Amino acid sequence: MAPTATPPNWVDLTFLGGVGEIGLNMMALETADHMVVVDAGLMFPEDPMLGIDIVIPDFTYLRERRDKLMALVLTHAHEDHIGAVPFFLKEFAAPIYGTPLTLALLREKLKEHGLLNDADLREIKPSEPLTLGPFEFEFIRVCHSIPDGVGFVVRTPQGYLVHSGDFKIDQTPVAGAAMDLNRFAHYGEKGVLALLSDSTNAERPGYTLSESQIGSTLEGLIREAPGRVIVAVFASHIHRMQQIVNIAAKFGRNLLFNGKSMVTNSRLAQELGYLEVPPGMEINVGDLDRLSPAQTIVITTGSQGEPLSALARMALEAHKQIHIQKGDLVILSSRFIPGNERAITTVINNLYRLGAEVVYKQVADIHTSGHASQEELKLLLSLTRPRYFIPIHGEMRHLIKHGQLARTVGIPEERVLLATDGNQVRFEAGGGAIAENKVDTGRVFVDGKGVGDVSRIVLRDRRHLAADGLVIAYVAVDPGARKIVTEPELITRGFTLEEEQAQLLEQARKVFQEIVLRGLSEPTQDWLEIQTQVSKALRKLFFKHLERRPMILPLILTL
């Protein structure tokens, strides 16, 4: 009788997003027969992504292995970790695991997509084990800028893997328990095969400022404010909202939550006990007129200058109920996310124009990060003492810096696995290494109802149109009679005013006509080739005279 073959017991970590970039977090944990996905996040479009609403990970790798997909596990409720879940659910029927607040915020998102009835949402709690195939999870409480975040330890056939989640070590948190460093240390004693740790703030020395210290700064500002106070924060920052509620209660001010996501998140947080608002304090927007400005605080969306946000509409005098008055104090209690500086500055200038006083991060300590700085990162490394270290969640500079920090606490350089999107790390026979070949990953663009139908070529064309405009050259011809039926015409959009460049456009019409007539005289008339010749000739002409490269669209209609 032939001996039974031993099944392979390797474990792979496949990074499908969020490693080498900010946002788009998604990772697959798998063996030969089982797979669990960790997080499904989005990223917001960068400047060159004209017209794109959001960006999600490419699910190709998961589609090819859908038969062994067991679950999606979520670490917390920020968009860069749950924003792609609706698109994931449209393709995969796997159960989704998350903490109570994470699932509550996810439910609202799924309602908007009409997917809530199709979702199998399962609650997890720290210290309660979860077994998924060969993987045994223990979730560990961490501090972050949203409540109910977790990291986890997962026991695999190759050993313990520790995932930090997004975290910072805040010893004086606003609400809830501090980060459970004891559990991380416990597994450090048992022996950790690999640590995967948040790298977002790996460049920042020292420790991240405690959230409670931000409350002290806000209290000082609000104490001195003679009139109404408007505070713009991220709608997910429940801890910051709680501090503002506490300050409002201390100074006897009423409180208004404003902005769709702010109203929704504050309601859910109160229902679940993550946000406590004293009875009678919260008011409706219609109550503002009957209260003096000194009696109110408004917590609103719009800290990033988003064009349709509540604060941006106030700054443009376009908000239906809230009008900026002289003496208002507006606090932007957030950082300037790169790429948003111009929009935020515009909002600030408009608020000043209307008579408000504006305070933001550059002039006061009114925001702190939810991510660990260097000393906290080194502490987690020292507590877990991993055999291998994999920096995650950050751009390349963050990953490299985090790897350097790991070496300062004794992890050898050859055991710092610097993975990026598409890399697979395989653990087998007690060792780990990055596979030579990358898997299929990428960015899928969501534009309106279209998912993935906008390619990089389409984006290139949009940039081309935005930069230099469009010229449409059209004419009707009768190939049989070998003659032009209608006069050649040029229509321009975003290129130049016709009256300003009438002579140049007339020259372009003549070039267009000459090429078409030459084509009509040929024995074989290849109109695709003729259109290509028109594009090249007009492009050359316009660049010679204007140094512009408009998109040329030749239309030759054959009768």
Q: Which residues are catalytic?
A: 198, 371
**β pairing state of 121-123 and 394-395:** unpaired
Burial 422-461 (b: 16+ CB within 10 A, else e): bbbbebeeeebebeeeebebebbbbbeeeeeebeeeebee
Element (H, E) at 266: helix 260-272
What the block records as the tokens of 74 is 């979520």
Element (H, E) at 558: strand 551-558
**β pairing state of 483-484 and 470-478:** antiparallel
Report the distance separating Cα 9 and Cα 156, nearest Å. 9
Report the distance separating Cα 496 and Cα 548, nearest Å. 10
Contact 239, 147 (CB under 8 A): yes
- Residue 322 has phi, psi (to 5 degrees) of -110, 120
- Residue 328 has phi, psi (to 5 degrees) of -65, 140
What the block records as the tokens of 100 is 């109570």
Q: Indicate the Cα dihedral angle 136, 141, 147, 148, nearest 10°.
A: 30
Other beta carbons less than 10 A from residue 6's beta carbon: 6
Helix, strand, coil % over all residues of the chain, rounded to 5? 35, 25, 40
Assign 491 to helix, strand or coil. strand
Element (H, E) at 162: strand 159-163
The backbone region for 33, taken as left when phi is positive above 0, alpha when psi lies in -120 to 50, beta otherwise, is: alpha
- Residue 156 has phi, psi (to 5 degrees) of -120, 170
Q: For residue 144, give every residue at least 6 positions away whose Cβ sits within 8 Å of its Cβ, in sequence order, or none.
A: 76, 78, 165, 166, 167, 168, 370, 371
236: closest CA among 38, 82, 340? Answer: 82
Report the distance separating Cα 23 and Cα 43, nearest Å. 5
Report the distance separating Cα 372 and Cα 265, nearest Å. 25
What are the CA-CA distances from residue 123 to residues 100, 101, 148, 217, 371 (Å)?
6, 10, 12, 36, 25
